[in-house]
Structures are given as structure tokens and as C-alpha cells.
Amino acid sequence: MPSLFVVGGGLFGSLAAAYARARGMESIVFDSGRDGAASPAAAGLFKESWAGRKLLPHYHRALPLLEQLYPIRALSLESAEGNRESHLFVPPSLILEPSPNRQSVEKVGDGWLEAGGRRYEGWIYIAAGVWSPQFLPGLEVIGKAGAVFVYPGEREGRTRRFEDGRQAIAFVRDPGTTYFSDGTAERDYTEEHERLSLRRAERMGLIEPSVRLWGRRPYTKGGPFFERIAGRTWLATGGRKMGTILGASFARRLVEEEIG
């Protein structure tokens, strides 16, 4: 059986590789560790109502795969008014490929790629986020940047809405720490955006973050993009803020329908 070679070790690529292995296929993930990858900064939260009518089929396709591969946690976030919002949650640390091949992929063709001076042949899945256009000229991908912050210690999960309609969340994404995000995603991200996010965190009692994570989320015109671009090569991007759900849905489509 041919191997699946994945370009990009974010949520899209890692989910495809994990599901391929669960179906008995060998899979290798290539990720050179470029600065600005969005997936390590992802919250990992999802709920059915966030999908909306357009993305709801993706949600229902994604959930069985996530339940098969990972422990899905239930999380309750308390609002300033004392109301509670229920979410489902898979930490990105459980999904992201732990030991990808760090060689840069130089060329991709129909059923092959070249990295580190070596040619690999099999099925190819390009999940390179904002860098996807280098493998498919003409593909329009907009990168919207933002930063999240990790604080020492575990705090109760909370959500707050601010005057501009922005919703911020704080919860224990990883043991021993509290994750904070206000959902900022800007094409032209500036220091002022970051200062505003930090002020919002302070208003939620979070002072002096220990870790700053930033990345550029990929947006594509008309929504997420999944397409066979050659006989044995596919490309998917445009996860926006739904990387876990869309990545899992596309993993099923790739492995079960396109390849399987």
C-alpha cells in the first residue's frame, strides 16, 4: 500500500496523518517549523452552534473521527453574568504531529514530493496553511494574525464580552497553565492589537504571561478549500477558527473517499 506524505504538521495535516495510520496506512508528516504557524496557538474548543448551517455537515463528519482518535473533554465556561457555556475540547497538543520530518518540501507533483534532496512517492496531502499557494499558484489565501497568551497556574474557565463585541476566553488548555485568547485575527497585526489583548487579559485577572503564541490563520474566499490538484495529490486549507473540525472532516474525506 502506498504511503501518505503530508506537507504541514498543523491541525489539518496531523489529523489526516493520524487517521490514515488508524486505517492501517503509513504516513509521514513534513513540517519545517516555520514561524507563524497558527495551529500551536489554537484553543481546541468547538461546539455545534459555531459551525452554522454551512459548516454543520463538517461538524457531524468530524465528531466520530475525533471520538475515535482522542479523548474529547467537556468544558464549561462561566460568563460575567454567571451563565455557563458548554463546549467540547481536544487540546492541540494531543493532535499535532509530535515528531515531524523537519526537512523543507521543495517540490510537489502528482504523487510525489522532494525534500532534503530525496524524492518520496505515494499519496500527497498538502496542508500547509498560509503557505499553500507556493504549491498551487493562483490559490488565494489570506493570513490573519493574532496572539494568545499562556499564564502560570490553573484558573476556572471563563468567557467575557467586551465593548467592541469581542469575546475573550480563559481556561486550562494544558495542565498547570491558563490559556487566554480574545480571538484577534487581523491582516495587519500591530503592537496595539497585542496591547489591547493583554489589557483584556488583565481585566480577567491574568497578569504577566509566561508564553506568547502567535500565528496566521488561513482564510480562503468562499470558505474552506479542499481539492484534488493532481491524480494522487490533494490540497486543503482555509481552516479559519475551525481547524479541529474542518481538519477532521477533511481527513475522513481524504482517507475514506478520495484514497480509500
pLDDT category at 118 given cuts 50, 70, 90 is: very high
pLDDT in tens, 59-93: 999 999 999 999 999 999 999 899 999 999 999 99
Average pLDDT over the chain reads 96
Neighbouring C-beta atoms of residue 116, cutoff 10 Å: 12
Domain 4-75+87-141+221-259 belongs to what architecture?
Answer: 3-Layer(bba) Sandwich (3.50)
Q: How far is CA 122 from CA 20, 126, 231, in A?
A: 13, 13, 11
pLDDT in tens, 201-231: 999 999 999 999 999 999 999 999 999 999 9
Q: Is the pLDDT reported for residue 166 higher than 90?
A: no
Q: Is the pLDDT reported for residue 6 higher than 90?
A: yes
Report whether 179 contacts 75 (CB < 8 A): no
Residue with cell 493532481: 230
pLDDT in tens, 23-54: 999 999 999 999 999 999 999 999 999 999 99
Q: Is the pLDDT reported for residue 163 higher than 90?
A: no
Q: What is the pLDDT of residue 84?
A: 94
Q: What is the pLDDT of residue 1?
A: 74
Distance between CA atoms of 111 and 90, rounded to whole angstroms?
A: 32
Report whether 242 contacts 170 (CB < 8 A): no
pLDDT category at 165 given cuts 50, 70, 90 is: confident
Q: Is the pLDDT reported for residue 157 higher than 80?
A: yes
Lay out the sheet containing 123-126: strands in order across: 27-30, 4-7, 123-126, 233-237, 225-230
Q: Where in the chain is the domain with CATH 3.50.50.60?
A: 4-75+87-141+221-259
pLDDT category at 188 given cuts 50, 70, 90 is: very high
Q: Is the pLDDT reported for residue 104 higher than 90?
A: yes
Q: What is the pLDDT of residue 73?
A: 95
Neighbouring C-beta atoms of residue 107, cutoff 10 Å: 10
**β-strand partners of 145:** 186, 216
Using only the alpha carbons of the chain, give its radius of gyration: 18
Which of 255, 208, 194, 221 lies closest to 65 in space, CA to CA? Answer: 255
Average the pLDDT over 177-197 and give the result: 96
- Global pTM exceeds 0.85: yes
Length of the chain: 260
Report whether 182 contacts 170 (CB < 8 A): no
Residue 93 parent element (H or E): helix 92-95
